[in-house]
Structure 1
Amino acid sequence: MKFSIVISTYNRLHLLRRAIDSALRQTIPCEVVVADDCSSEETEKYVRSLGDAVVYHRNYVNQGHAATVNAGVEKASGDWIKFLDDDDYLDIHCIEKMSQAIALCPDAVICSCIAAQVDTNATEISRTPNFGSGLAFYIPQVDIHYGMLLELIPFGTPVQVACRRDAFLKSGGWDTQFSVCDDIDSWIRIAQFGHGIFLNECLAYRMIWPGGYNQKFSFIHRLHTNILMKEKIYSFVNDKHRHHLPKMEDIKNYLKLHWTMVAFKRKDLQSCFALINSSALSFNSWKFLINVVYSRKRKMYNSHIQKIVLMEK
């Protein structure tokens, strides 16, 4: 099994250096690919100075995040792809730990882990929650989309996720029409082709800062894209779960309520008033929200999702 770490970048050399360093310091050998979305000459000069340690691809014109990730995967030669944005970085054991878990479940196509959210000084702010028991376990393919729909399976952001390269290509890669959730859209489609793996270890670091890619888009834009993602997931849910699915309308109302509360917490009252509507009065949307929060905090994941432990604590 060979891993390729694909780092997407655009004009953030001061952060890219850290991302590349975390990839080159992995405890087992892996390929490092830098996919550059037509940055300034300083980025190209630096990456090329690393010689054969890094595979470098540069877009001739700026094409956006999704197209740049796709170009990086095309250049990669590994069986598995580990995604990494230039403002994030990896624990040095990330690829080793993921490889160990994948070896125990060769039919897996997607693997995720816990991530720490850090500030610009690399000080930890929070962590994504543990999921279930054991150090690592797999979720059968028939259960993945149902778990994603109810937000019980947290594949997460690119820094947390790796996938099998052939499944990525078969799924069509990242959809360039999306300005946000291009990663989630990809996980949805990749999960058609095999099992998922989750590691209850913090192996990735995601920086939360005003220059973050997702900070460029309004709450309303993110809400509408989230609704599109839920509709897509809904269409992929296995027949095994069809008889106990919530109504799509209730899920939409839950999302409206969720983003209204996020806007309120961040004191963005303009967005809050723009988002709030009858969903705030919907019993089912509040019920959905409470169930999601309760399940995460109590780790009481739905009994319909089968989790098979690969590695015990």
Structure 2
Amino acid sequence: MLGYRWLQTTAARCGFPGWPAGRLLSVAEGVRLWRKDGCRDGLRGAFTWIRRRIRTSGRRPDFDHRDLPILRRWDADSTDRAGSSAQTAFSILMPVYNTDPAHLREAVASVLAQRHPCWELCIVDDGSDRPQTRHVLDGISDSRIRIERLSHRLGIAGATNKAFRQARFPWIALLDHDDWLHPCALSEMARAIAYHPDADVLYSDEDKIDPAGWHHAAFHKPAFSPDLLRSQNYVCHFLVIRRSALEAFGGWREGYDGAQDHDLLLRLMQAGCRFHHVPHILYSWRQSSTSTAFTPIAKPEAHLAGMRCVDEHAKACFGPKAYAEETGLTFVYHVRTGLLQKDCRISILIPTRDHLKELRTCVDSIRTRSTWTGYDILVLDNGSTDPETLEWLRIQEAEDPTGFRSIRIDAPFNWSRLNNVGIREARGDVLVLLNNDTEVITPDWLERLVEEALRPDVGAVGGLLLYPDGRIQHAGVVVGMGGWADHVFKGHRPVHDLSPFVSPMVQRNVLTVSGACMAVSRRTIDRIGGFDERYIMCGSDVEFCLRAHAAGLWNVYDPGVRLVHHEAATRRSKPIPEIDFVLSCKAYAPFLAGRGDPFYNPHLSLMDTTPMVRR
């Protein structure tokens, strides 16, 4: 079968005789989802998935308040707020350079079609020498549109700053010279500003326009996620920024062309500016052979500029030892905080009862594959009776008395209680909770987990857990998925894949992570407490993370931490106690009844672990 990536590229570049490129792309996406579904129902199942994708692609995004989910609560002063939003004024900045004339006309027309009345468009022609582009600009005669022509090129940062100096209104919006704004873009941003007056930066969801003019590849973003923003500029379009915040930073810095917006957003985040997500597709990003929307490698210098700005940001936030490192993915970076010092004590807690085979595999993988050696292992023995297991534990303690201990806990199984006992007995400054049916893959797993857990703004840190066949078991937990909480991307291959959501191979913030592999600092436990011992088997790891979130801490998922998880290998026959469901229902209630998991998108279905738009 043709590779999905090859088919995507071929469709976007060449189209298909008599068939728009976007339609062929939809076929490829449908086939991918069918294969992820285990090729169920054979060709009939394949055609079902293809029809779904074709029905939901190729159209400009509809925006009808009657059809969309209610994403905001209207209160007694809704009329006053709606009235004030109509007076919110935007200056739209558009640097232009040798733009395709048809695309430039459509971009300007999308501004003229805005339903919101208060705007101006500030265009700066960055020395275009293409006659057709200049001709389009000459033909614009709307009093709300001002055009400045430069005699020599300043680059995109310089041209954007020129446009900013033209701006007169309190809110600055960014529009690329060949992209398209939804007619409701400004009105929705104005409404969001009215309901969230403390916001400094607002951004929306987006999709792409392929060379044949078809809309596809919708990107439904999460709420503000600082770790995701450090990893990639997921905010991107449609972006609106408070003018006073921009003035405080002097606008865009030159020398970061291609990553100038990412650099600006990182500086705004570092300064404590408040970000707000508007979960609608308000912007369409045009794909062309020279656009990073079509292929990320189109502008390699932009990737390097992004690397520089992320590295600079890391040092400013975490100190001189912090740095940005490559991930092997274009426009995706990873920040190493440099907070882990040699004198940091790490305790690895492993609850177990017999099952020596799994326990030995887990411990051996820690010892043989970990590059960090400053740790001790604390096995929480929940009443093992197998003589071989008991003898193995005795030998390990005798051979390594400072690095290996076991504590006997003769009590009915309670995951929360076992780990709380371990937390009290452990010596570490950072505690790594590990199931006994896990197996380390990446050598620097401890360093990555612990240096994030040591951040004062972080609650829990988790990694990428894989089934023995290499598919994803855990890449973050979404509260509300499946009616309770489940692992998004479960069953997928661990690849940087096209998705209507964030890639599973990019570090991001999540509402919760799995307790099968979780790092947490003792400082965090002292602040929010340990695990709720009313839970017996499942749910207390999620509840712990929800408490961390409520305390203003970020929970982090790092795909660079990889372990195999032989899930439930040691409790296959044990049903989940009813009390765990009752307590989980109570803990999840604010997210099930309200707006949902903030780090997922409200337009994505909660009935499948594969991110897809709900219907």
The interval holding the TM-score normalised by the smaller chain is 0.7 to 0.9
CA distance in 2, matches of 1:58, 1:18: 20
CA distance in 2, matches of 1:73, 1:289: 42
1:227 equivalent in alignment to 2:307: yes
Provide the aligned C-alpha RMSD in A.
Answer: 3.7
1:35 equivalent in alignment to 2:124: yes
| Mapped contact 1:107–1:194 kept (Cα < 8 A) | no
1:114 equivalent in alignment to 2:205: yes
Query: Over residues 9-29 of structure 1, what are the superposed CA-to-partner deviations in whole Å (9 max), with x where a residue is unaligned?
Result: 111122111110011111112
In structure 2, the CA distance between the partners of 1:64 and 1:215, relative to structure 1 (3 Å rule), is: farther
For the residue of structure 1 that corresponds to 2:153, the secondary structure is coil
CA distance in 2, matches of 1:171, 1:82: 16
Aligned to 1:88: 179
Measure how far apart 1:167 and its partner are. 1.2
Aligned to 2:268: 190
CA distance in 1, matches of 2:194, 2:94: 24
For the residue of structure 1 that corresponds to 2:200, the secondary structure is strand
Query: Over residues 56-105 of structure 1, what are the superposed CA-to-partner deviations in whole Å (9 max), with x where a residue is unaligned?
Result: 11112111111111111111111111101112111010010011111122
| Mapped contact 2:256–2:306 kept (Cα < 8 A) | no
Aligned to 1:98: 189
| Mapped contact 2:178–2:286 kept (Cα < 8 A) | yes
What is the aligned counterpart of 2:254 among 176, 186, 201?
Answer: 176
In structure 2, the CA distance between the partners of 1:15 and 1:215, relative to structure 1 (3 Å rule), is: farther
CA distance in 2, matches of 1:172, 1:259: 28
1:49 equivalent in alignment to 2:139: yes
What is the aligned counterpart of 1:257 among 315, 328, 336?
Answer: 328
| Mapped contact 1:47–1:54 kept (Cα < 8 A) | no
Aligned to 2:74: none
For the residue of structure 2 that corresponds to 1:257, the secondary structure is coil
In structure 2, the CA distance between the partners of 1:145 and 1:260, relative to structure 1 (3 Å rule), is: closer
Larger Rg: 2
Query: Over residues 210-247 of structure 1, what are the superposed CA-to-partner deviations in whole Å (9 max), with x where a residue is unaligned?
Result: 122675423xx45533332322332454xxxx7xx9x9
For the residue of structure 2 that corresponds to 1:174, the secondary structure is coil
Aligned to 1:265: none
Structure 1 residue ranges without an equivalent (≥5): 133-138, 262-279
Measure how far apart 1:4 and its partner are. 1.2
Aligned to 2:98: 11
CA distance in 2, matches of 1:172, 1:222: 21
In structure 2, the CA distance between the partners of 1:56 and 1:108, relative to structure 1 (3 Å rule), is: same
CA distance in 2, matches of 1:50, 1:260: 35
Query: Over residues 83-129 of structure 1, what are the superposed CA-to-partner deviations in whole Å (9 max), with x where a residue is unaligned?
Result: 01112111010010011111122222111010102212221231213
Measure how far apart 1:282 and its partner are. 5.3
In structure 2, the CA distance between the partners of 1:126 and 1:228, relative to structure 1 (3 Å rule), is: same
Amino acid across the alignment from 1:217: K
In structure 2, the CA distance between the partners of 1:50 and 1:145, relative to structure 1 (3 Å rule), is: same
Aligned to 2:114: 26
| Mapped contact 1:109–1:195 kept (Cα < 8 A) | yes
Measure how far apart 1:300 and its partner are. 3.6
| Mapped contact 1:7–1:33 kept (Cα < 8 A) | yes
CA distance in 1, matches of 2:309, 2:150: 28
Measure how far apart 1:286 and its partner are. 9.7
Aligned to 1:268: none
For the residue of structure 2 that corresponds to 1:85, the secondary structure is coil
In structure 2, the CA distance between the partners of 1:46 and 1:232, relative to structure 1 (3 Å rule), is: same
In structure 2, the CA distance between the partners of 1:115 and 1:189, relative to structure 1 (3 Å rule), is: same
For the residue of structure 2 that corresponds to 1:228, the secondary structure is helix
CA distance in 1, matches of 2:228, 2:331: 23
Amino acid across the alignment from 2:90: F
Which aligned pairs between 1:278-289 and structure 2 lie closer than 5 A? 283-284=444-445
CA distance in 2, matches of 1:222, 1:44: 26
Amino acid across the alignment from 1:175: R
Query: Over residues 41-61 of structure 1, what are the superposed CA-to-partner deviations in whole Å (9 max), with x where a residue is unaligned?
Result: 543443343221411111121
**TM-score for both structures, normalised by structure 1:** 0.72
CA distance in 1, matches of 2:331, 2:162: 36
In structure 2, the CA distance between the partners of 1:177 and 1:260, relative to structure 1 (3 Å rule), is: closer
CA distance in 2, matches of 1:223, 1:6: 23
Amino acid across the alignment from 1:10: Y
Amino acid across the alignment from 2:221: N
Amino acid across the alignment from 1:194: C
Measure how far apart 1:178 and its partner are. 1.4
Aligned pair count? 269
Structure 2 residue ranges without an equivalent (≥5): 1-87, 333-440, 450-461, 466-473, 477-501, 513-548, 556-590, 604-615
Aligned to 2:162: 71
